[in-house]
Chain A
Amino acid sequence: MENKDSASVEKSQSQLEHETSLLLNETRLLKENLPRNDIFDISKTTTDNKAYAYSLPHNKLEVSSTQTAASLQWLQRISKQELITEARNLKHLASSRKSYRSYKKRLNTLFKNSEVDESIERYFLENQYRELYNIILNLQSLPSFLLTLEGFRGYKACQIIAHEKGQGFAKTSYCIDGEKTSTRRLPVEKFNKAFSTVKKSKSKLFSIQSFPDHFSEMIGSFMAKSFTGRKFNIILLLGRNDFLPPNEEELIAFDGISKNLEPIFNAILLRSNKDDKLLNTMELLEGLPLALSIKDKTDSFLFKNQAFEKLKESEVRDFNHLERNLTGKNTLNIFVDNSRDEESDLYHFYKVSLLGELLNTLRHELSNPLFGISLATDFLGSEDLDDEIRETINDIKTNSLRCQKIIKDFSNLYEAEDHFKDFDLINLIQETIILTKSETRGIRKQVDAADTSITIFSNPTLISQVLFNLIINASQALQEKYGEDLRTSIITISIESNSSSVVIAVKDNGPGVSEQAKEKLFKPFFTTKEKGTGLGLSICKNLIKKLDGNMTYESSAEQGSRFIISLPFVSQ
């Protein structure tokens, strides 16, 4: 069986060689002899699906479509005057011929078990189909590639929506002529609805009205096909961004091509998990507030992230440049701005946790000797002593008690992360405000609460860290708006509680947050500050989540920002 296969491959290989050399000669002759813009005298004489015959000025050519699709297609297009016989095209064909043998072999082994339609060769230039398998590593880059296919000539927009079974979302990749592919996530409900619409439809012809809102970026009428895989369901959309429905021929072509895409989809999706990982890594690197790029050995860029793009020539000199060798002779370049470290949020959090550790150590190391001192004064104080000594001992006692109280108050703010306990929220807020004193100098701070004391059971350290961060953020916003003159600036912290929850709102009368920024506010690495890392709020939100609470943002009625922390109200 296999022998027979390889024999037929050999045969078509030699045939192809023969035919293409014929073609090359013909075209060369045509080019030399015919005046420009003259119609090539090539006509199709047989319209049988399996065999074509072409009469050329000096030769008659008979070919079978299953063997020489590339040369045929090329020939057809010459006859239609779509192709100008430039050296480039000849070269293209020659190279495609060269790789034909390995391509055929590869196809045979790769798709031995999957159905590759005969029409595959009618719609794909040989090396294109090979490319499809070798180059396209993920679905994201597939739409833009499909648009370059000869069979999809004239189409402007392509979208592929894939849903991995069991996931709560589908991923869509949309490409419009020459632009970068955009990807986003779709709720699975929308995908399922659209999927069954496409699957049930016989016409394959759709308009955007057939689909749920925001499902597709396509315009006008377009074609769609659904693919059912073992792990994935896929919808392919293809359109010209106009309202004219495709003709019969185009529909057949779409059908033929899309049929042959199935093994490609399977092959791609097999690697999909790896791709997701890669994609996530790419996203992370893209958004990293650290300028980095990857160059290949010829010194051209393979990858640049946003921070790198923003990096100005003039600034680079002040940056520390790190270069690391990667595999494949590529190099990773990282630019580190030394000046920003001290001001970053990360550093701040590091500082806060370090301070917490330090305070904890201090508390434990100091509380024992201080207790010893007060015990000793108790014992001494009850002795028979003259007034002066008694007074002195009393002073020692008062002072050591005061020291103990100070340590106790501060260590409340920085207890171990998993330490839940009953504490007075209002007191905690006031202590946190004291900690922000130097950063919020000149700004009025107000605590609004119906009660003078609200005892809750939670983690005071984490709550204090979050409040600390919000107050610092607010004061930075206020300083940005009011500059030196902070007389009218105010940060209000209000507390409302009912039987089930406590809501703490931190409000300022600063510039507020723009509509676009609102959506991304809690996303890691999102920042509007020139030197922010964009981690502060995302860490805050996570800390509050740890406490079974939630943190949201609201524009307040007057101007400014309002961050709302809601916590479960548990008290003993």
Chain B
Amino acid sequence: MNILIVEDETLIARSLKKLLERKGCHVTWESSGNKAIETIRSSNFDRIICDLMLQDISGFDVIEESKKKYDIHEIGNKFIIITAYSSQQVLIKAASYGCIVLSKPFENLNEAIEIFREGKPNDKN
């Protein structure tokens, strides 16, 4: 499984990367939004875990750019937003892309890891 982490907080990104790698995933990490866009353009990922408040641009900008490559259904399945600011506006905007939002800090780490690997929980049903 090919996973991209877009997150500017080094400690979070590095730990997540290690945790997912231990579960057998192949993980790429980008700390800036613009670099992430380039990477998404050039490589294929099964899952993109994207922070919203990046140093350069918003995580939503990354998703918007990705629409050039993926259709809306793929966007909803590939992208998982992680954010410390899960306001109503954020939730609504995420819903418009069909993405799920996990707010930081995760309430249950194991569950979060599971969602990163498997995608939306109800997709399995």
Contact = CB atoms under 8 A, between A and B. Distances in A.
A367 to B, nearest CB: 5
Main secondary structure of the interface of B (DSSP, over half): helix
Interface string A298-339: 000000000000000000000000000000000000000000
Interface residues of B, number: 17
B15 A368 contact: no
Interface residues of A, number: 16
A399 B19 CA distance: 21
A368 B18 CA distance: 18
Contacts of B109: 375, 378
Given A367-B105, A379-B18, A372 B9 contact: yes
A368 B19 contact: no
A550 B26 CA distance: 58
Given A364-B84, A364-B85, A378-B109, A371 B19 contact: no
Contacts, number: 45
B22 A368 contact: no
Interface string B62-102: 00000000000000000000001101000000000000000
Nearest to B112: A375
A378 B15 contact: yes
B10 to A, nearest CB: 7
Contact of A369 (B9, B18, B19, B85): B9
Contacts of B15: 372, 375-376, 378-379
B105 A371 contact: yes
Nearest to A420: B88
A379 B19 contact: yes
Contacts of B18: 379
A370 interface: yes
Contacts of A367: 84, 104-105
Given A364-B84, A367-B104, A375 B10 contact: no
A373 B10 CA distance: 10
B22 A382 contact: yes
Nearest to B20: A379
B105 A370 contact: yes
A485 B79 CA distance: 63
8 contacts: A364-B84, A368-B12, A372-B10, A375-B19, A376-B14, A378-B19, A379-B22, A419-B87
Interface of B: 9-12, 14-16, 18-19, 22, 84-85, 87, 104-106, 109
Interface of A: 364, 367-376, 378-379, 382, 404, 419
